Amino acid sequence: MLSRWKIIGLVTLCSLVAGCEFSPLYGPDSPWESHANQTDITVTGNLDPRKLESVLLDQFGKPTGERSHHLTVDFVISDESGPIQGSGGVYQYIVVGKAKVAFFDLNSGDLIYSDTINARARWTSSEVRDKENKVVSNEVLANLESRDDALNRLRRLMADRIHNRIIAIKPNKDIQQ
């Protein structure tokens, strides 16, 4: 059972949200509806652009019919550091991605949104050496798989940030053209 103060707090929160013209990002007449399945996506960069494009298509939906928007993304690895040695032969690596984003309205040709978005992912690996002090080969493979997993997480994080920023754009209809 909700206490009286929780009910008062909930009503107050709802009033504040209604007062600031809150509208959900998903659902009928939402900003997402105007982009869903209507956005062409072009990705370039040094980190297999097709993989990021695939993740972005998951977010925006595969274009069907007439396109209303175009998204360009230049996605690069801007920094990769490591290994930072931890205890017990465990190493930590960090990879930082940077995406230059531009989102256009194809009907008017206007640039709706542009920004540079950064994200990072990390992974850890251990290092096992044999009697001759050489790294055991399956440990190298495990490290490469860990890095690949971190890059996939970086792509997903970047796609989420790009998509969320674009659907959060609320056109100002009060601006005189």
pLDDT digits (tens, 9 = 90+) for 58-73: 988 888 888 889 999 9
DSSP 134: P
* Mean pLDDT over each residue of the chain, to the nearest integer: 79
What's the rounded Cα separation, in Å, for the pair 152 and 170?
A: 30
**Residue 129, amino acid:** R
Asked whether the CA dihedral 55, 60, 62, 68 is positive or negative, the reply is negative
Domain range annotation of the chain: 8-167
Query: Degrees (nearest 5) of the Cα angle 106, 69, 97?
Result: 125
**List of residues 6+ apart from 24 with CB closer than 8 A:** 30
**Is the model's pLDDT at 176 over the cut of 50?**
no
% of the chain exceeding 70 in pLDDT: 73
pTM given for the model? 0.72
Q: Which residues pair with 120 in a beta bridge?
A: 96
**List of residues 6+ apart from 102 with CB closer than 8 A:** 71, 72, 111, 113, 114
CATH for the 8-167 domain, from 3.30.160.150, 3.40.1180.10, 3.30.70.920, 3.30.200.20: 3.30.160.150
Q: Which residues pair with 98 in a beta bridge?
A: 76, 118
**Is the model's pLDDT at 47 over the cut of 60?**
yes
